[in-house]
Amino acid sequence: MTNIRLVAYTSLAVGLINWRYIDFNAGGFAIVVGSLLLVATLIKPLQSKIEKGVGFVLALAFSAVAIIYSFLA
């Protein structure tokens, strides 16, 4: 498993848990971010660009914001 998939699965899992147990709308943003990252990893040229350099930092930042936002919502 690549690091970007780990970030995507974490965001998706936290979003689904918050969506189910906290509030219906709480985990929606984290679910969307995690799903988009997982879809992006299916496309090989896009996956290689995300895994290296600034793409990984941006994906990690978006995922972190989505996770924090889902806890605060």
**pTM score, whole prediction:** 0.83
Which domain, by its residues, includes 26? 3-72
**Residue-wise pLDDT tens digits, 38-68:** 998 888 888 888 888 788 888 889 899 988 8
Do the Cβ atoms of 49 and 19 come closer than 8 Å?
no
**Residue-wise pLDDT tens digits, 12-33:** 999 888 888 887 677 888 899 9
User: How many domains is the chain partitioned into structurally?
Assistant: 1
Do the Cβ atoms of 52 and 3 come closer than 8 Å?
no
Please give the pLDDT value at position 48.
81
Cβ neighbors of 39 (< 8 A, separation 6 or more) are none
Do the Cβ atoms of 14 and 67 come closer than 8 Å?
yes
